[in-house]
């Protein structure tokens, strides 16, 4: 499964670099930045690097974000530091951003090392930023809304998590919200999974259900859908191999999508109507039908409305 946390970090770094630098304590409030497109300047693989920025035509900062320590990948910062030094005459500062305390090693190396089998070896100093040590105040400042999904990973606890969720709820009453609340909520649920268990995340977000109806597209980037898809792929490949089918992987993809949608549908209905059971869901085996039902479940106001939608889908089959 692709790491959704790194993906969220890249989105923030790409769309809101000043806010990210402000959150990480690299940029003071009110200071402007000139963003370098490192991928274009250095012609590097976009999956191997986050972003670098020039600050006030005086310093280049470059950082990578990690959920867990990966010596090989982290060592590349030494290479990027060297390449940036060859390109720019400014001082280069390399940062490692650790997202979750429970995955962070207790002892970190003093310098980062990049090595090749032919003897090439580069070393660089670096700085570590631990998200769980960062004050979340920037997320609640004016124009700080894109940082709200990151609050569960920052300094504090349940009170800050609830405050971030409440701030997203307030955006629903804004005639022209600066950020799409449904997308923020989906990212909040995804990132919170790095620190809290899924049951706790659900409990935190239940208060928003009366106002925020998550779209299918937003749901598909969350852990509920992604976990179901991944489990379905594994089961599909195993079943295909057991039957000697050459198309086991393709079947796994299809089964994964169906399982992901069914998981999302069950959890949506369980959260909205906890006293009700919907066994009819097991009779729906097609992704397009489950997509239709998920949308209907998100819009349903009563259990009967949700059940009628399920039966309407099942009857033609």
Q: How far apart are CA 255 and CA 249, in angstroms?
A: 10
Q: What are phi and psi of 202, to 5 degrees?
A: -60, -45
Asked if residue 233 lies in contact with residue 255, where contact means CB atoms within 8 angstroms, the answer is yes
The bridge status of strand 127-130 relative to strand 51-55 is unpaired
Confidence of residue 224 (pLDDT cuts 50, 70, 90): low
Asked if residue 96 lies in contact with residue 78, where contact means CB atoms within 8 angstroms, the answer is no
- Looking at the chain, the whole-number percentage of residues with pLDDT higher than 70 is 78
Q: Tens digits of per-residue pLDDT, 167-211? A: 988 887 788 888 888 778 878 888 888 898 877 777 777 666 555
Q: Tens digits of per-residue pLDDT, 288-306? A: 888 788 778 777 778 888 8
Model pTM score: 0.67
């Amino acid at each position: 499964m692709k790491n959704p946390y790194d993906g969220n970090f890249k989105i923030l770094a790409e769309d809101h670099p000043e806010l990210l630098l402000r959150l990480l304590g690299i940029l003071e409030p009110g200071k402007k930045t000139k963003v370098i497109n490192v991928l274009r300047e250095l012609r590097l693989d976009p999956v191997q690097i986050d972003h670098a920025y020039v600050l006030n035509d005086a310093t280049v900062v470059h950082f990578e974000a990690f959920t867990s320590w990966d010596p090989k990948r982290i060592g590349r910062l030494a290479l990027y530091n060297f390449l940036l030094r060859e390109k720019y005459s400014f001082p280069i500062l390399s940062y490692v951003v650790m997202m979750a305390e429970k995955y962070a090693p207790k002892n970190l190396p003093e310098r980062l090392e990049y090595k090749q089998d032919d003897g090439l070896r580069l070393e660089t100093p670096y700085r570590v930023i631990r998200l769980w040590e960062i004050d979340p105040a920037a997320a609640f400042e004016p124009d700080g809304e894109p940082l709200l999904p990151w609050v569960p990973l920052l300094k504090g606890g349940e009170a800050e998590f609830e405050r971030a969720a409440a701030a997203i709820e307030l955006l629903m009453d804004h005639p022209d919200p600066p950020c799409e609340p449904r997308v923020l909520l989906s990212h909040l649920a995804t990132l919170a999974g790095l620190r809290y268990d899924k049951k706790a995340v659900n409990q935190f977000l239940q208060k928003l259900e009366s106002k925020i109806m998550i779209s299918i597209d937003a749901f598909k980037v969350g852990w509920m859908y992604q976990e179901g898809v991944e489990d379905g792929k594994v089961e599909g490949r195993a079943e295909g191999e057991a039957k000697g089918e050459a198309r086991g992987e393709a079947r796994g993809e299809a089964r994964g999508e169906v399982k992901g949608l069914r998981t999302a549908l069950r959890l949506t209905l369980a959260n909205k109507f906890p006293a009700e059971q919907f066994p009819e869901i097991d009779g729906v085996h097609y992704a397009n039908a489950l997509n239709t039902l998920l949308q209907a479940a998100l819009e349903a106001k009563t259990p009967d409305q949700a059940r009628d939608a399920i039966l309407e889908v099942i009857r033609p089959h």
